[in-house]
């Protein structure tokens, strides 16, 4: 059987148009357009803090056109009706209502299209926003500048109450600040004696301001020694003879006030529990908050172990300062160290000291040297380094 061919192009176009119309007709029959009504509350926008407005029209009626199935999940909360009050003046003002709706529906009518709002100027006064500091910046830093946004607030209320207000302040705890930042701070009202006020009926506009804080703290770099942190004990019959960091120093970067009190950087703890053989491990650094390491990110630590020859004992030994220049005094952050050794006799005498040769006024990280009078081998000194303050 031969297939019927339509050779007339005009008939083809008509057939296609009829098919499209039929498709639209079937779609409309199954999911037709409908019109419904919603009541939407009116909100006020951009009102001057010194003004108050009122209107008898609290909500508007909107007419919405959409497909039948689109109304299944549509509520009045999907629409907003607002009026822009940035240009209102004292007295009656007629302002248009702006309605926002979801993209898939059409608002065909808003009633009323305009509303009347009555504006009046509030009793009150403007005050500049002042900053009330508590605490101190870490490591003696300074605040370069405060910038409040907005710079002023309006105190609205009964004149008898507002006259008690002397200052509008935001409070900042400096101890929590390590870098320049911005904070959202509630406004606190103070009387002339600096006491906080709680005045029912008095409103602060706005009640919260954004405070931009710039710290006056130049960024500097500093080279400091790396101190290896060890946890645990070596395997049975062995002791850790040495733990050498490579590199021995790193360069850190941060605020000058933060760097002033940092004389060394410790590694993250290395657990040597059960270890007996010499090995190298890669470990990160325990960096103080607000400080960065320029390079490297990780430290290679060589762990050297030695066999234990005899019974290890531990003694707490006082540390002396040797070779201190005349006229200077020195103070260690720790006056004793713990020494593990294999004593050759019960009368072994230990001496611990730090060498201050050539050191001037300031803080210095110095090695602790321990000697025994009879050559007893020293296995471990803890800590291996101390901070020496010379004045």
Written as tens digits, the pLDDT of the chain (391 aa) is 455 555 566 666 676 666 666 655 555 556 788 999 999 999 999 888 888 899 999 999 999 999 888 898 899 999 999 999 999 999 999 999 999 999 889 999 999 999 999 998 888 889 999 999 988 877 556 788 899 999 999 998 888 888 899 999 999 998 888 778 899 999 999 999 999 999 998 999 899 999 999 887 666 788 899 999 999 988 876 788 889 999 999 988 887 767 877 889 999 999 999 888 889 999 999 988 878 888 777 899 999 887 666 567 788 999 999 999 888 999 999 999 999 887 666 567 889 999 999 899 999 999 999 988 888 888 889 999 999 999 8
- Phi, psi values for residue 26, rounded to 5°: -65, -40
**Looking at residue 118, what is its pLDDT?**
94
The SS3 call for residue 276 is coil
Q: Which residue in the block uniquely carries the two structure tokens 């049975």?
A: 236
| Three-state DSSP class for residue 226 | strand
pLDDT given at position 291: 84
Exposure string for 9-25, b = 16+ CB within 10 A, e = fewer: eeeeeeeeeeeeeeeee
CA angle 88, 93, 95 (to 5 degrees): 85
Phi and psi, residue 175, nearest 5°: -60, -20
C-alpha distances in angstroms, 357 versus 31, 57, 323, 337, 391? 94, 87, 5, 21, 14
pLDDT value of residue 29: 57
* The pLDDT value given to residue 201: 86
- pLDDT value for 217: 64
pLDDT at 294: 83
Q: Secondary structure of the chain: what % helix, strand, coil (to 5)?
A: 10, 55, 35
This prediction has a pTM of: 0.42
Per-residue pLDDT, 1: 47
Give CA torsion, residues 368, 229, 388, 337, to 10 deg. Answer: -50
Can you give the pLDDT at residue 62?
95
**CB neighbours of residue 211 within 10 Å:** 19
Question: What is the SS3 assignment for 181?
Answer: strand
């Amino acid at each position: 059987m031969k297939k019927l061919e339509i050779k007339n192009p005009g008939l083809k176009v008509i057939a296609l148009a009829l098919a499209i119309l039929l498709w639209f007709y079937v779609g409309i029959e199954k999911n037709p357009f409908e019109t419904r009504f919603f009541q939407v509350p009116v909100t006020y926008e951009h009102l001057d803090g010194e003004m108050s407005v009122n209107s008898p029209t609290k909500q508007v009626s909107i007419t919405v056109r959409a497909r039948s199935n689109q109304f299944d999940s549509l509520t009045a909360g999907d629409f907003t009706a607002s009026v822009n009050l940035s240009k209102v003046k004292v007295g009656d003002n007629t302002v248009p209502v702006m309605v926002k709706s979801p993209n898939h529906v059409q608002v065909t009518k808003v009633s009323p299209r305009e509303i009347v709002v009555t504006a009046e100027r509030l009793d009150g006064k403007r005050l500049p926003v002042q900053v009330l500091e508590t605490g101190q910046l870490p490591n003696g830093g300074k605040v370069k500048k405060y910038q409040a946004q907005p710079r002023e607030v309006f105190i609205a209320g009964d004149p008898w109450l507002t006259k008690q207000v002397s200052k509008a302040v935001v409070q900042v705890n400096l101890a929590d600040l390590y870098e320049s930042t911005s904070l959202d701070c509630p406004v606190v009202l103070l009387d002339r004696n600096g006491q906080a006020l709680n005045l029912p009926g008095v409103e602060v506009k706005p009640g919260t301001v954004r405070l931009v804080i710039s710290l006056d703290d130049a960024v500097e770099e500093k080279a400091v020694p790396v101190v290896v942190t060890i946890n645990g004990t070596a395997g049975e019959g062995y002791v850790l003879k040495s733990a050498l960091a490579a590199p021995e120093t790193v360069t850190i970067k941060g605020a000058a006030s933060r760097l002033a009190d940092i004389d060394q950087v410790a590694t993250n703890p290395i657990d040597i529990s059960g270890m007996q053989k010499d090995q190298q491990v890669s470990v990160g650094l325990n960096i103080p908050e607000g400080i960065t390491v320029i390079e490297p990110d990780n430290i290679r630590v060589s762990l050297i172990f030695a066999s234990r020859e005899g019974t290890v004992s531990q003694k707490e030994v006082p540390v002396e300062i040797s070779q201190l220049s005349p006229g200077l005094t020195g103070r260690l952050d720790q006056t004793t160290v713990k020494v593990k050794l294999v004593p050759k006799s019960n009368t072994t005498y230990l001496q611990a000291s730090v060498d201050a040769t050539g050191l001037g006024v300031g803080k210095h990280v110095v090695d602790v040297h321990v000697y025994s009078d009879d050559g007893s081998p020293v296995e471990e000194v803890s800590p291996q380094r101390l901070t020496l303050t010379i004045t």
